[in-house]
Amino acid sequence: MQNRIKGSDHMCFGCSERNPIGFKLKFTMDGDICRTEFTAGEEHQGWNGYMHGGLIAAILDETMAWWLWLKDISIMTVEMTIRYSLGVPVHTRLRVESWCEEEKRGKLFHMAGQIILPDGKVAAKARAKFMKIDPAQF
């Protein structure tokens, strides 16, 4: 990897505006919660009508990472688990949020995130660890 952190020409699948097949997510901080919204299309399906679980994981990963990024903390995901509770239908506005549960020695961050359906039900919840990295090395 090159040092892309300082540039605006990155191709991050989750958030780059330049990536033609990416999610192009935009994030805001609302108090201590990082938020984004997303509507899955046909191309994001696993089972017919429902979003692919790996893509659900990618959105949750990105949303947790951005909680840290918005605080100028450069990190990489080092562990993640997901509980998939309900199918995530396509063509449906999803709310996604993330927050920090614990910070260990300023180096390891225990994060959580969830995808919320329009009726308020949590369809998937993630817990993940992110490790602080030196962006100059990437």
Ligand X SMILES: CCCCC/C=C\C/C=C\C/C=C\C/C=C/CCCC(=O)SCCNC(=O)CCNC(=O)[C@H](O)C(C)(C)COP(=O)(O)OP(=O)(O)OC[C@H]1O[C@@H](n2cnc3c(N)ncnc32)[C@H](O)[C@@H]1OP(=O)(O)O
Contacting range for ligand X; rule: CB under 6 A; set: 33-41, 42-50, 89-97, 125-133 = 125-133
Could you give the CA distance from residue 105 to residue 68 in angstroms, rounded to a whole number?
A: 15
The answer to the question of residue 132 lying near ligand X (CB under 6 A) is no
Residues paired with residue 81 on neighbouring β-strands, in sequence order: 127
Could you give the CA distance from residue 52 to residue 43 in angstroms, rounded to a whole number?
A: 9
Residues paired with residue 111 on neighbouring β-strands, in sequence order: 100, 128
> Judged by CB under 6 A, which of 19, 45, 77, 92 binds ligand X?
77
Nearest to 11 by CA among 67, 43, 21, 135: 21
| Nearer to ligand X (CB atom), residue 61 or residue 97 | 61
Per-residue binding string, ligand X, 27-66, x by CB under 6 A, is: ----------------------------------xx--xx
Residues paired with residue 76 on neighbouring β-strands, in sequence order: 131
> Judged by CB under 6 A, which of 2, 12, 30, 54 binds ligand X?
12
Q: Least distance from C-beta 131 to ligand X, angstroms? A: 4
